[in-house]
Amino acid sequence: MLLGRLDRYGWQPHLACTGGQLATDAAAMGIPYHLMAMPRLRRSSRFVRDLWGEARGLAALANQLEVEALYANTVRAAVYTSLASRISKRPFIWHMRDFWLSENKPARTWLDSIGKRFLIAASTAVVANSHAVAAKLPRSPAVNVVMNGIDLKMFRDESVGESFRADHAIPENALIVSTVGRLRPWKGQDRFLRIASNVRSSQPDAYFVIAGGSPFSVDDDYQPMLKRLAANLGLQDHVRFTGQLDDVRALLAATDIFIHAGDPEPFGLVNVEAMAMGLPVVAFAHGALPEIVVDGVTGILTPAIDESAMTRAVLRLIADPELRLRMGQTAKRLAVERFSIERTTGEINQLLQRYLGDRE
């Protein structure tokens, strides 16, 4: 989405990727793409060979295209690109969207810090997608914060949720509390279920929806465990597991209250999507969530990992429909003001001009 909205009078983007849906989307936007292997960098005898070989290939592509700069949008890409920029002697911009260089907090945080220092030293500019992410990076004048954005036009039609209840056997007038995210322990779906059980003790007619799957083919016991937990809590008739949804708008349009009960998020885009659909968001006050949810205005922030506090917040919103409506309407306005994709790409365009020179 970001590449497709860059100022084409100033920049002609090219995409180096491993193929798949990303390449298909780039082609649909008229963006030239170039297939690169870029294998996962693991500790093995092939590490140096993979890194050096792919970095040389990326540098050769950059020289062939005479690009102005190399821009890495993931940690893996940043490792290859940092070396390719040295080989090709071209500026490198690193867009960091996570707290750590690995998916989860590493056992050796000092090693993570060394890796970040290396990448920052190799970068002309660093973009962090939240102040929470920037705080996990070594201090550097090269670090800039540009918040993620969404295409707000996609969230204007609330009628898309009309069929969701029927499709998932939820009564027409039942109140729905939902959460969205990959089915991973750090996303907090188990907490969501315990909160749902507590809420249902006072609100027996409420329904709860967990949307998400395992798009990266992680095969573990987490999803079966969630279904066992729902049964053990007596929720099996009032919880719906939708699996992975390519489009969450129908769910959000049918939802009354959105919950984020996970560990600290580097951003949490689905919370912005919920706000854009006019929903109050209940979330823990950690990670980047306080940068998105305005406590008492667009939703309720509760102490981190306090399931009892989150239960009370949900029950407060259930008991006060006017408060839900007011927070949801304010959330929608704030999403327009702060989280549009136009604003995000405008800030990226300005950053590119500042570090690489004006192309107009």
Q: How confident is the model at residue 1, as a pLDDT?
A: 64
Helix (H) or strand (E) holding 210: strand 207-211
Q: Which amino acid is at 54?
A: E
Q: How confident is the model at residue 9, as a pLDDT?
A: 57
Asked if the domains at 3-149+341-356 and 152-338 fall in one CATH topology, the answer is yes
CA atoms within 13 A on the CB side of 146: 25
Q: Are strands 92-96 and 176-180 parallel, antiparallel or unpaired?
A: unpaired
* DSSP codes of every residue in 265-308: -S--HHHHHHHHTT--EEEES-TTHHHH--BTTTEEEESTT-HH
The answer to whether the CB of 98 falls within 8 A of the CB of 133 is yes
Cβ contacts of 147 within 8 Å, gap of 6 or more: 129, 130, 267, 291, 338, 339, 344
* DSSP codes of every residue in 82-111: HHHHHHHT--EEEEE-SSSSSSS--S-HHH
Q: How confident is the model at residue 11, as a pLDDT?
A: 84
Distances (CA, A) of 316 to 65, 93, 319: 58, 45, 5
Q: How confident is the model at residue 43, as a pLDDT?
A: 62
Query: Which tokens go with 159?
Result: 């009628």
The answer to whether the CB of 91 falls within 8 A of the CB of 59 is no
Domain spanning 3-149+341-356: which superfamily? Glycogen Phosphorylase B; (3.40.50.2000)
Q: How confident is the model at residue 17, as a pLDDT?
A: 92
The answer to whether the CB of 57 falls within 8 A of the CB of 35 is no
Q: How confident is the model at residue 46, as a pLDDT?
A: 81
CA-CA-CA-CA dihedral for 274, 15, 57, 92, to nearest 10: -70
Domain range annotation of the chain: 3-149+341-356, 152-338
CATH of region 152-338, choose from 3.40.50.300, 3.90.440.10, 3.40.50.2000, 1.10.10.10:
3.40.50.2000
Low-confidence ranges of the chain (pLDDT < 50): 359-360
